[in-house]
Amino acid sequence: MSASSSSRSDAGHAVFALSPETVLALGSRLSIEVFCRAPTAKKQGKATPLCFAPVPLSGVLKKLDSNSHQRQRRVEHEVALIRVNAPRGKPALAAAQKCEAPKLILRIHAPETPLSPQLLPPATLPESTAVNEDAPVAHSLPCVVDFYEASDQESDTVVPTDCEAGPSTAKAPALTSSGKPRGNLRKRSVDTSPVTSAPAPASLPDDVTVASQHERQPGAGPLERQEDRRSSRTWLQFAESCVNYVGPYDELREAEEQSDDHQMEAVLARLVSEWQAVGQMLIGLAAVNTAVIGFVRGSTAFTIDDFSLGAVTIGAIAAGLGVAMDAWFFLLFSGADAAKFKRLAKDVYGTYFFFCLVCRLPTIHMFVSVLAVGLFLLSTAWTL
């Protein structure tokens, strides 16, 4: 889609203003046209085109999206204006167009708070539609548009524009008889600060429709996608910190990044020794729970109620599962080197997240079994 966004003013200057919503609604291409009107001509006279420039907005938005990851909230995009051949009978314009074409610098500042602009589908952008002036338009994306003159002697009569809605009220300098502006204008720029809300612009291109917030169709803009990625990274960091308390996640990841096989083997040796000690403890707990269950069927010197029997049952189940898991880890990783340990410990995503989450399951089962035996002894002593 190509949209023309220009409004003409007096004194041979071309002035246009774009709001952030208008820039996002223009789609993939923005056409900038600069016109000139003679000072003696009537206000309603026909203006003469001087130069134009097509601006692909997709590249500007991608640059803004990539810079936001690097904590850079400002994007500069340089556009070279293309001169239009001067019509016959206007020597002043022909002389002015012999100089080098000016350049346009488009600066876009990302807002501090997330902005959720929505783009209208192509079907809702007819060639000629009316602009709803009553619909409020939020302007929270400040922007600066600078025009640079390419020659010291001759230059075009171009005025900088801002991104606020409505036409510019700045008066342009007068032109000389040769078509050059009076004074040495090297660079003129207008920087605007963020505005919370402003009325809809009085004049916009005929092929662009500015919709209100209730009329916008659902869609994810670049800033919304950035917020989604930021929230996903926050949740992932929280999950990794929790897993690090359970297993050696940070140590394994650091050894993987530095390709340190000695640190990897040290972590593996510590885990194997832990599994060996936990396995011996689980075997002892399983024997204790089995003996207690055997005493329940016979005559005992103390009373065993339902709570004590349930605690012993839970302790026996936890001890049995812990022994099975501990034997599996010990047989799989004992005697493995760093390369084998990396191959077995990595998950389908190439991380150690799942391994660090399950490597301490035998220890957790040992803790549950010990707690069940303790509750059994406490309940039995309470009933004596």
Q: What is the pLDDT of residues 339-384, one digit of tens each?
A: 999 999 998 888 899 999 899 999 999 999 999 999 988 988 888 7
Residues 188 and 328 in one domain: no
The domain of 311 spans 247-383
Residues 15 and 151 in one domain: yes
In this predicted structure, the answer to whether residue 175 has a pLDDT above a threshold of 50 is no
Q: Phi and psi of 158, rounded to 5°?
A: -125, 135
In this predicted structure, the answer to whether residue 50 has a pLDDT above a threshold of 70 is yes
Of the ranges 103-112, 142-151, 169-178, which is most confident?
103-112
Number of domains in the chain: 2
Which of 139, 173, 205 is the C-terminal boundary of a domain? 205
The token pair at 148 is 């640079």
Q: Counting beta carbons within 10 angstroms of the beta carbon of residue 339, is it exposed (0 to 12), middle (13 to 18) or buried (19 or more)?
A: exposed
Mutual angle of helices 222-246 and 57-69, in 10-degree steps: 20
Q: How confident is the model at residue 210 (pLDDT cuts 50, 70, 90)?
A: very low
| pLDDT computed for residue 240 by the predictor | 81
Residues 168 and 80 in one domain: yes
Average pLDDT over residues 135-154: 42
Average pLDDT over residues 95-110: 63
In this predicted structure, the answer to whether residue 207 has a pLDDT above a threshold of 50 is no
Residue 257, number of CB atoms within 10 A of its CB:
8
Of the ranges 79-83, 88-92, 222-226, 306-310, which is most confident?
306-310
Distance CA 175, CA 90 (A): 15
Distance CA 204, CA 6 (A): 8
Distance CA 107, CA 163 (A): 10
Residues 45 and 187 in one domain: yes
Average pLDDT over residues 96-113: 63
Residues 58 and 169 in one domain: yes
Residues 118 and 263 in one domain: no
In this predicted structure, the answer to whether residue 330 has a pLDDT above a threshold of 50 is yes
Distance CA 56, CA 33 (A): 14
Of 60 and 299, which is predicted with more confidence? 60
Write down the mean pLDDT value for the chain.
67
Strands 143-148 and 103-109, by their bridges, are antiparallel
Residues 200 and 274 in one domain: no
Residues 163 and 296 in one domain: no
Q: Is residue 210 part of a domain?
A: no
Residues 197 and 335 in one domain: no
Distance CA 304, CA 379 (A): 8
Q: Is residue 362 part of a domain?
A: yes
Residues 20 and 144 in one domain: yes
| pLDDT computed for residue 211 by the predictor | 43
Residues 65 and 170 in one domain: yes
In this predicted structure, the answer to whether residue 173 has a pLDDT above a threshold of 50 is no
| pLDDT computed for residue 268 by the predictor | 93
